[in-house]
């Protein structure tokens, strides 16, 4: 069903651009770096799900879930594990804050706190 939604959405232009959160001092992009560390097939699956969110926003479960405040997650089922990419919508952009492999049923507090900290930096409130 998600792929059908994506196919329909792609017939039009993307509703949002996609940006990677960038660390201030190092200018590194943690989500891009994390993605590069994954096998190619997993990167591709996560990328397709991010693209679905980009073209089909707003979307709901099972692909996109609300986490807390302004933070949302793209949920990707991989062959033998589950990936999450936490993001925020800022204006016309989907900003990727944090990516991780989920090991428990609930999103670990430290993963959410990391995304919240990056959101504060992004918005200049830290």
pLDDT of residue 11: 62
In a domain, 3, yes or no: no
Q: Is residue 58 part of a domain?
A: yes
Domain total in the chain: 1
Structural contact between residues 85 and 99, judged by C-beta atoms closer than 8 angstroms = yes
**How many degrees, rounded to 5, is the angle at CA 39 between CA 35 and CA 41?**
100
For the record, the structure tokens of 8 come out as 């329909």
Mean pLDDT rounded to a whole number for the chain: 90
Residue 4 lies in a domain: no
What backbone phi and psi angles, to 5 degrees, belong to 96? -80, 115
pLDDT digits (tens, 9 = 90+) for 1-16: 455 655 665 567 889 9
Q: Is residue 106 part of a domain?
A: yes
Is residue 1 domain-resident?
no
Residue 8 lies in a domain: no
Cβ atoms 52, 7 nearer than 8 A: no
Count of CB atoms situated within 10 Å of the CB of 38: 16
Q: Is the whole-model pTM more than 0.75?
A: yes
CATH number of residue 76's parent domain: 3.30.2310.20
Domain assignment of residue 25, yes or no: yes
In terms of residue numbers, what domain contains 42?
16-123
Q: pLDDT tens digits, the chain, 126 residues: what are they?
A: 455 655 665 567 889 999 999 988 888 999 999 999 999 999 999 999 999 999 999 988 999 999 999 999 999 999 999 999 999 999 999 999 999 999 888 889 999 999 999 999 999 875
Rounded Cα distance between 72 and 94, Å, is: 10
What is the pLDDT, as a whole number, of residue 104?
Answer: 83
105 domain-assigned: yes
């Amino acid at each position: 069903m998600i792929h059908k939604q994506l196919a329909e959405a792609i017939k039009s232009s993307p509703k949002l651009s996609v940006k990677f959160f960038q660390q201030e001092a190092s200018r590194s992009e943690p989500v891009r770096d994390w993605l590069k560390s994954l096998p190619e097939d997993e990167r591709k699956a996560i990328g397709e799900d991010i693209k679905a969110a980009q073209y089909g926003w707003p979307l709901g479960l099972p692909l996109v879930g609300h986490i807390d405040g302004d933070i949302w997650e793209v949920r990707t089922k991989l062959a033998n594990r589950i990936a999450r990419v936490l993001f925020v919508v800022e204006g016309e952009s989907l900003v990727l804050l944090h990516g991780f492999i989920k090991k428990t049923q609930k999103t670990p507090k430290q993963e959410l706190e990391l995304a919240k900290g990056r959101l504060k930096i992004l918005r200049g409130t830290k």
